[in-house]
Amino acid sequence: MKFILIFLGFVCVLHANPRTEHLRLWEIARTQNPSLRTMDAEILAAKARATRSQILFPSNPELELSTRRGTLRTGVVLDPGFEGPLQKERQKTTGYEVGISQEFEVAGQRGLRMESSSIELESLISRKNAHLREVYFGIRRELLTLDVQSRLIKVLDDQIASVSQLEWQFRMNGVRDTKLGVYVFDAIQADLALLRVERSNATQDRQVSIGNLKGLVGTPVTASDFGSFAELDLLPQSPDEGQVLQTLSPENPFFKENLALAKKAGVEIELARRSIYPNVTAFIGAGVDRRGNGTALAFPPISSGPQSESERFIRAGVRIPIPVFNRGQGLEDGARAELAKVTTNVEVTRLQMEIRVRSLLSRYTQARANLDNISQQVAKRTTIYWRLDQAFLSGRMSYSEYWTERSKWMTMERDLNRALLDAIEARSGVEILSGIDFATGKPVELETAK
């Protein structure tokens, strides 16, 4: 089987099922990942704004209560039916009015506002679904990386133990190096120090991966028993390029968010266009007007008028603000500029994703080819190291020649490790962008945010 030689001699004892560990950490991350929790809060806020946009009236009704008190003065009136004029008089007037008014939106602004808030919610859900992919496949990427790093640390430990054993045997056998002489011991110590530094760096890289995994999961994790991945999990066959490119459709969450933002920008243009239409306020009221002094005197030809008069009335109408000043000036131009920006971003994102997918697939294929070439050679290292040790201890090879030859094989070990990490990184990038799990060749359904 292809790549099977990669794992000969360095596959660790299986402490845990890697797939099970991946799913366990994924379930924790769904509730503990800080970014996902922040997005959940943003979605809840967007839902609240969407609910608020459904309000039928832009403001609460207003109750109007008024009362008035005054004096009605009348002048001298000449009446030809009497001998003298009617004298002027003063009458008290009182009254009150009760009314109610309500503002109404016009030009369909409410419907557009509802559509805009709904699209905003859709874009946030798409953003979370995209991040779900990043977390899901990111967790497995770090687990795979930890597995490879553990393998490298084990190889370096074997190298350190082997060279240390060589030094002890060289010292005990009393073999002399004709080129380096007694300096050979210093050379071995220096090379051991370099190996220990390399192991320290590998350990530090492992701690970084553990930190990355902790950030993705959202809780502290231990990396002692993550298990070793089988070849099927570590280096599966990549999906067909055409299959991957088909996933770069409008349903892809990375596209869907931008498409939603573009749609929202179009709605904002229409809202800006209709903002010049002022809302109207309808009102209705009822009241009573009273006048009179409360007495009735009649001494012809002079009369003080009726004892009291009252008038009931109903008042209704519409108040419309006069749009003298264009308070929405520049809103439409700004909305059009935003639409142009978002639309361009959609096209740029589509092009960049397609280029990146092609690049990552090529990178993954190349890494697998490199592994196929290197692994067959690295699989021989146990026998090669034993033969090198024997040649050096028997005096047939100087330490300089021995270390040069051994370093060549150690370089292959490092190249193998880099190829593995490169394949993991490329694989993870394609999985995140496409949503296709390389291990199964099928899309993973993670879009559960509603």
Distances 333 to 166, 289, 367 between C-alpha atoms, Å: 78, 53, 50
Handedness of CA 381, 386, 391, 392 (dihedral sign): positive
Residue 222 has pLDDT above 70, yes or no: no
* Least confident stretch, 233-237, 328-332, 355-359: 328-332
pLDDT tens-place string over residues 58-103: 788 889 888 888 877 765 555 555 555 555 567 788 888 898 988 8
pLDDT cut 90: percent of the chain above it: 19
- Which residues pair with residue 96 across a beta bridge? 67, 288
pLDDT digits (tens, 9 = 90+) for 365-401: 888 888 877 877 777 777 888 888 888 777 777 877 8
Sequence ranges of the domains in the chain: 4-53+130-279+347-443
- Asked whether residue 132 carries a pLDDT value surpassing 90, the answer given is yes
Query: Is the previous residue joined to 300 through a cis bond, with omega within 30 degrees of 0?
Result: no
pLDDT at res. 228: 65
Cα radius of gyration rounded to whole Å, the chain: 43
Span 289-320, pLDDT tens digits:
887 655 444 444 444 445 567 888 898 888 88
d(CA 77, CA 88): 8
CB 126 within 8 A of CB 260: yes
Name every residue whose Cβ is closer than 8 Å to that of residue 367 and which is 6 or more positions away in sequence. 419, 420, 422, 423, 426
Q: What is the mean pLDDT of residues 342-353?
A: 86
Q: In 3-state terms, what secondary structure has residue 97? A: strand
pLDDT at 84: 54
Measured between alpha carbons, how far is 409 from 389 in angstroms, rounded to an integer? 13
Which structure tokens are listed for 186? 């210093």
Q: Return the CATH architecture of domain 4-53+130-279+347-443.
A: Up-down Bundle (1.20)
Average pLDDT over residues 233-252: 84
Share of the chain above pLDDT 70, in %: 81
Using the predicted structure, report yes or no on whether residue 335 has a pLDDT greater than 90: no
Q: 197-218 pLDDT, tens per residue?
A: 999 999 999 999 999 999 999 8
Do 417 and 151 contact (CB within 8 A), yes or no?
yes
Rounded to whole angstroms, the Cα distance separating 123 from 263 reads 10
User: What is the per-residue pLDDT across 270-284, written as a single tens digit (0 to 9) for each?
Assistant: 888 777 777 888 889
- Report the candidate in 163, 249, 250, 240 with the shortest Cα–Cα distance to residue 198: 163
* Whole-structure pTM value: 0.76
